[in-house]
């Protein structure tokens, strides 16, 4: 690794500034890597090979990539990269938050934001101060700028590890066997937990118990699921473009999925009125479907599903919604993140409907 001596930082800054201010050189016939390598040799001819290569890599990241964020994105132990405005960058590594030595000013943050979302046809500015997008590597990025972000642009990048966790890493053998049997017996399952608890990761692990002979349609706000099934279609919500048109919602994709001859439908997360469509799909021959929602416990998950269903343009009474919910959802599986960063299944509950009400009874805890 190159040392952090000031002269190296000065050289890095000078070459980066020179190349960024010379668009003709960047668009010429010579590759950017060759240009940077030449510049490093000119500015620091006595630099050793390893230090020179490291300096070249950092300048390339500054000019064409995400600068110091590149190294964080390449670290497989980093799950979240958090920028709270000008100042230090925070990361979550192995489940624990830590402050890095990297500090960014507002201009650098906005430059990196533009590089992330520009190629995706998205924009963020005072008129459109919030944007969600998916990077080419599958990472999910959320950006909030002024006037909503008071202290400067806030950026949250959620990375998804290349290693897929097995179900046995979430729970004991008996619970694992119970959940595998539930999936294979085509029980409808909703995974619940807090933000960052591991809901999507657990959903991935559960879905790997689906037989390869079945056709599965996945619907997600941001494509994260990696099920590895041979007969699968992945659908992703499309947000409105810079002109405010062209959006395709989860609800629309659910209705489309029903016309695609699915054996099972997997909805990454239900957040609103699409909950009713999901429950109706579960009740109309698409058993074995899976989804997630934000909730703190099984009873809270049921109330959340009720509330989200009521958000839709429906005149169904609460009793009818509870009837749908009671007959649609078979199991509620809770997951949480422990202080050491490990994700664990905290409860498995069966959904019961009695006397016009729905409740969750624990099977395993």
Which tens digit of pLDDT belongs to each residue from 166-208? 899 999 889 999 999 999 999 999 999 998 888 989 999 999 9
| Parallel/antiparallel/unpaired status of strands 189-193 and 154-158 | unpaired
Model confidence at 65, pLDDT cuts 50, 70, 90, reads: low
Question: Strand runs (DSSP E) across the chain, as ranges?
Answer: 78-83, 87-93, 96-104, 130-134, 140-144, 154-158, 189-193, 216-220, 232-236, 264-267, 290-294, 331-337, 343-354, 357-364
pLDDT digits (tens, 9 = 90+) for 143-156: 999 999 999 999 99
Q: 6 pLDDT band (50/70/90 cuts)?
A: low
Q: What is the C-alpha to C-alpha distance for residues 308 and 318, in angstroms, rounded to an integer?
A: 12
Task: Report residue 86's pLDDT band, with 50, 70 and 90 as the boundaries.
Answer: very high
Distance of alpha carbon 54 from its chain centroid, rounded?
A: 30
For residue 347, pLDDT beyond 60: yes
| Chain-centroid distance, C-alpha 56 | 31
Cα(237)–Cα(250) distance, rounded to whole angstroms? 6
- The pLDDT tens digits for 110-127 are 988 988 888 777 888 888
Nearest alpha carbon to residue 333 among 319, 318, 351: 351
Residues 303, 337, 132, CA angle at the centre, nearest 5°? 70
Residue ranges of the alpha helices (H) in 88-233?
106-117, 173-184, 199-207
Judge whether residue 232 has pLDDT over 80.
Answer: yes
216-223: average pLDDT: 89
Specify the residue for token string 């510049």.
39
> Contact, 302 vs 358, CB < 8 A?
yes
pLDDT at position 64 is 62
Rounded Cα distance, 59 and 15, in Å: 7
The span from the CA of 217 to the CA of 267, in Å, is 8
What share of the chain in percent tops pLDDT 90?
39
Least confident of 33-37, 205-209, 232-236, 271-275: 33-37
| Rounded average pLDDT over 46-58 | 74
pLDDT of residue 25: 53
Q: Is 87 helix (H, G, I), strand (E, B) or coil?
A: strand
Is pLDDT at 39 greater than 80 in this prediction? no
pLDDT at 41 over 60: yes
Q: Assign 227 a pLDDT band (cuts: 50, 70, 90).
A: confident
pLDDT of residue 188: 95
């Amino acid at each position: 690794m190159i040392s952090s001596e000031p002269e190296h930082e000065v050289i890095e800054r000078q070459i980066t500034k020179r190349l960024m201010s010379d668009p003709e050189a960047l668009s010429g016939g010579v590759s950017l890597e060759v240009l940077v390598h030449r510049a490093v040799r000119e500015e620091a001819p006595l630099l050793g090979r390893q230090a020179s290569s490291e300096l070249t890599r950092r300048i390339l990241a500054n000019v064409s990539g995400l600068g110091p964020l590149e190294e964080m994105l390449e670290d497989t132990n980093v799950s979240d990269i958090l920028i709270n405005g000008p100042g230090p960058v925070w990361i979550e590594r192995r489940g624990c938050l830590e402050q890095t030595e990297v500090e960014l000013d507002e201009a650098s943050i906005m430059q990196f934001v533009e590089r992330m979302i520009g190629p995706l046809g998205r924009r963020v500015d005072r008129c459109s101060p919030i944007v969600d997008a998916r990077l080419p590597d599958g990472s999910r990025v959320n950006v909030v700028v002024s006037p909503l972000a008071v202290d400067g642009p806030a950026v949250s990048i959620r990375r998804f590890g290349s290693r897929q966790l097995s179900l046995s890493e979430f729970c004991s053998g008996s619970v694992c066997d119970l959940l595998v049997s539930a999936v294979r017996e085509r029980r409808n399952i909703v995974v619940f937990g807090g933000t960052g608890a591991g809901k999507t990761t657990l959903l991935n692990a559960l879905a790997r118990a689906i037989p390869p002979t079945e056709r599965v349609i996945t619907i997600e706000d941001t494509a994260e699921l990696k099920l590895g099934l041979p007969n699968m279609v992945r659908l992703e919500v499309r947000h409105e473009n810079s002109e405010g048109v062209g959006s395709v919602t989860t609800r629309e994709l659910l209705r489309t999925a029903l016309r695609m001859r699915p054996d099972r439908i997997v909805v990454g997360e239900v957040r609103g009125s699409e909950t009713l469509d999901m429950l109706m799909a579960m009740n109309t021959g698409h058993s074995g479907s899976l989804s997630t929602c934000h909730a703190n416990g099984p009873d809270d998950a049921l109330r959340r599903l009720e509330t989200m269903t009521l958000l839709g343009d429906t005149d169904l009474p609460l009793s009818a919604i509870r009837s749908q919910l009671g007959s649609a959802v078979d199991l509620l599986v809770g997951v949480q993140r422990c202080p050491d960063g490990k994700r664990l299944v905290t409860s498995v509950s069966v959904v019961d409907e009695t006397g016009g009400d729905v409740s969750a009874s624990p099977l395993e805890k």
